[in-house]
Structure 1
Amino acid sequence: MDAQFFTAWIEEVARAVGANRDHLTRLDAAIGDADHGSNLDRGFTAVREALSATPGDTPGAVLTLTGTTLIRKVGGASGPLYGTAFRQMGKVLGSGADVSLTDLASALEAALAGVRRLGGAAEGDKTMVDALAPASRALTAAVQDGMKAEEALDAARAAAEQGARATIPLQARKGRASYLGERSIGHQDPGAASTALILTALHAAAGG
């Protein structure tokens, strides 16, 4: 997987976020500030512009620029969290022109670790970690099982989507939603939902 593949992934993320902007905002309206969709859409629009102006010549460069742009352009918690995730992935992938599925699994593990450090969230807290953690585990397991890229990324996508759905009955323990207490139960976490979109876009970039 080269820089072109990762650029295609981010382009697919931008399209998916744009198409689901209102849905993400409705999810956030129930338990947050009602700006998750619009913030991410603005952020990934800026990322597309940045990559168009300065195309990354390696996978690491593409993801580092993505993360840096999100931190600079997206307000609230989602900018720093997603920005950190992509920057950590870029750091792990380094300067190699082509990366393996094993490399990508390691990068996703680093993204998860970075998000956990920054947000202090664990699985079950009703955050993006509830989608990102199972996706990371699924990709690592798929690599260990010798799956091909499209099949492995489909496993990660499915795990992220299942994790996002599993936030619905949870009570939020982190972020603004935690202020609602039991009233946060019954609503899907918007960060977990957008994480699932990003993993779905990764699978799509691989031809899924």
Structure 2
Amino acid sequence: MGYDAESLVKAVRALGAEIAHRRAELTHLDQEIGDGDHGENLARGFSAVLTKLRAAEPETPSKVLSLVATTLISTVGGASGPLFGTAFLRASTVIGTATELDGTLVASALVAARDGVVARGKAEVGDKTMVDALSPAAEAATAAAAQGADVAGVLAAAAAAAAAGAESTRPLQARKGRASYLGERSIGHVDPGAQSTTYLLDSLALSAASHTED
């Protein structure tokens, strides 16, 4: 069986559980350099996503991602809702009417997600934002797809690159967002958005790997 809408719905459910599990950790990270609500906001958003998925039966992967996007935008406060929502929305647009995903399509979706976040947030690599995780993830995904990797392989490469990218934010001084107001005090902390991006991709990669084994 290919990686279809049903497979993606299962992955999003697992992602919602992972974000709920990481809520306190992400909130703590955000308390150090932000508003302190990143974990709570993201967990609330994905809880709403899971509620909507119980009542909906999206027919294509694109429709699954579109549902995630619109729900996050409408329920997550601060910058996270629009940014993560934009990422999922751009990804859904690239996937289009495809009924099944392959490695190349997933890589294209991640590139579109990254480009959407950059356009929306006006951030670039080095600004200490989620872009520091998402950009290398998109590049790693593209490289993996070019080598013939399947969905699981592409997402695994993206997750590993995102983890390294998130850690790279620790020594940076923030140039965007609430953390930028702290100046040098933002140095020494991992950006919460970059870390949650890593958890998101890692969860999706684990789901894809499990799907491949089934």
**Normalising TM by the smaller chain, what interval?**
over 0.9
Alpha-carbon distance in structure 1 between the residues aligned to 2:13 and 2:78: 23
Kindly report which structure 2 residues correspond to 1:15-164, keeping only aligned pairs within 5 A, or say none: 15-164=17-166
User: Using the alignment, how far apart are the partners of 2:154 and 2:103 within structure 1?
Assistant: 9
Deviation for aligned residue 1:151 = 2.7
The offset of 1:59, in angstroms, is 0.1
> Deviations along 1:121-144, whole A, 9 cap, x unmatched?
000000000000011100100011
Deviation at 1:152?
2.6
Equivalent in the alignment of 1:10: 12
Residue 94 of structure 1: CA displacement?
A: 1.0
Query: Quick one: distance in 1 between partners of 2:79 and 2:152?
Result: 31
The question of whether the paired residues in 1 share the 8 Å contact of 2:102 and 2:151 is answered with: no
Structure 1 stretch displaced more, 47-56 or 186-195: 47-56
**Quick check: 1:181 aligned with 2:183?**
yes
Write out the 4+ residue segments of structure 1 that deviate beyond 4 Å after TM superposition: none
Q: Deviations over 1:37-73 (max 9, x none)?
A: 0000000000011111112110000000100000000
Question: What TM-score results when the alignment is normalised by the length of structure 2?
Answer: 0.95
- Secondary structure at the counterpart of residue 64 of structure 2: helix
Letter in 1 for 2:183: G
Q: SS at the partner of 1:167?
A: coil
- Identical pairs, percent: 52
> Following TM superposition, by how much is the alpha carbon of 1:150 offset from its aligned partner in structure 2, in angstroms?
2.5
Do the aligned partners of 2:106 and 2:154 also contact (CA within 8 Å) in 1? no
Whole-Å Cα distance in 1 between the matches of residues 13 and 187 of structure 2? Answer: 33
Counterpart CA distance in 1 for 2:194 and 2:73 is 18
| 1:12 and 1:204 in contact (8 A); partners too | no
Q: Which runs of 5+ in 2 are unaligned?
A: none
> Where do 5+ consecutive residues of structure 1 fail to align?
none
- TM-score, normalization: structure 1? 0.97
Q: Which whole-Å deviations, capped at 9, do the CAs of 1:8-33 have from their partners, x for residues lacking one? A: 22112111110010000000000000
Q: Which one-letter code corresponds to 1:119 in the other structure?
A: G
Q: Post-superposition shift, 1:7? A: 1.0
CA distance, structure 2, for counterparts of residue 200 and residue 192 of structure 1: 12
